[in-house]
């Protein structure tokens, strides 16, 4: 059973491919001729994940899975949240991280708590299946590690390791995306009925 992963983010795609290895599903990327996903006009992770999944599924006529995710930082009242990808002017991973570190300059370690959130939506012909995952941690003061993507170099997990110091397998044992994925798998067969 095939699902298109409705993402332009290669980091997410790699993690999905690894997750799918332990499932009966095959995840495929969106074809190159689809240059852009629609604007993320929703107010929640769910709204935006649905926009992506529905657009790709309706365009290609096969089931699709959308991922909307981001980082909620307590000292910033939950920002950047659904705006995580568009936090800095360029939207580049490094610039997003630098802006976050700069905005937390005055905040001491115990108050740098944060969490990654992920909403997954699988969509096909009007049928919707959704799930959520969370990863608790805190924002570091410096970059560390070269794996992963996005905010991984500045996110410290309970083990003390930055997410970017973990390989894909280790990250997938604990991540917000893998939690949401495991929950999604329970209901996913309904999409194909
Ligand atoms: P698509 O919309 O094409 O899927 P995107 O990167 O724009 O790609 P989002 O709108 O969901 O995806 O934005 C997610 C943001 O949160 C983006 O800045 C990511 O780098 C970051 N993010 C999400 N999951 C992450 C993870 O596991 N590790 C590090 N950063 C993550």
Report which protein residue has its CA nearest ligand 1's atom 31.
150
Q: Which of 69, 92, 168 to mutate to test the pocket of ligand 1 (most atoms within 8 A of CB)?
A: 69
pTM of the full structure: 0.97
Give 193 Cα–ligand 1 centroid separation in angstroms. 30
How many domains would you assign to the chain?
1
Q: Using CA atoms, how far apart are residues 123 and 191, in angstroms rounded to an integer?
A: 7
Which residues lie with the beta carbon below 6 Å from any ligand 1 atom?
Answer: 7-9, 12, 37, 40, 52, 67-70, 84-85, 93, 96, 116, 148-152, 175, 177
Report which protein residue has its CA nearest ligand 1's atom 2.
7
CATH number where 11 lies: 3.90.950.10
Give 125 Cα–ligand 1 centroid separation in angstroms. 26
Sheet-wide strand order for 26-29? 26-29, 2-5, 64-73, 113-124, 127-139, 155-156
Name the residue range of residue 73's domain.
2-192
Which entry of 36, 47, 67, 68 is annotated as an active-site residue? Answer: 68
Per residue of the chain (193 residues), what is the pLDDT tens digit? 999 999 999 999 999 999 999 899 999 999 999 999 999 999 999 999 999 999 999 999 999 999 999 999 999 999 999 999 999 999 999 999 999 999 999 999 999 999 999 999 999 999 999 999 999 999 999 999 999 999 999 999 999 999 999 999 999 999 999 999 999 999 999 999 8
Which residues neighbour 2 within 8 Å (Cβ) at sequence distance 6 or greater?
Answer: 25, 26, 27, 28, 62, 63
Q: Using CA atoms, how far apart are residues 98 and 77, in angstroms rounded to an integer?
A: 18
Give 126 Cα–ligand 1 centroid separation in angstroms. 25
């Amino acid at each position: 059973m095939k699902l298109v992963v409705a993402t332009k983010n290669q980091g997410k795609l790699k993690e999905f491919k690894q997750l799918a290895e332990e499932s009966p599903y095959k995840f495929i990327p969106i074809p190159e001729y689809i240059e852009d996903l629609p604007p993320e006009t929703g107010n929640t992770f769910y709204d935006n994940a649905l926009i992506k999944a529905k657009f790709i599924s309706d365009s290609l006529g096969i089931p699709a899975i959308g991922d909307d995710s981001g980082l909620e930082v307590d000292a910033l009242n939950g920002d950047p949240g659904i705006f995580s990808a568009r936090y800095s002017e360029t939207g580049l991973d490094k610039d997003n991280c630098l802006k976050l570190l700069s905005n937390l300059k005055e905040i001491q370690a115990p108050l740098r708590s944060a969490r990654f959130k992920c909403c997954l939506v699988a969509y096909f012909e009007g049928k919707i299946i959704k799930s959520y995952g969370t990863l608790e941690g805190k924002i570091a003061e410096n970059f560390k590690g070269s794996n992963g993507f996005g905010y991984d170099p500045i996110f410290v997990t309970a083990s003390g390791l930055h997410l970017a110091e973990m390989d894909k397998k280790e990250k997938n044992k604990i991540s917000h995306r893998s939690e949401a994925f495991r929950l999604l798998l329970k209901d996913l067969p309904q999409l194909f009925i």
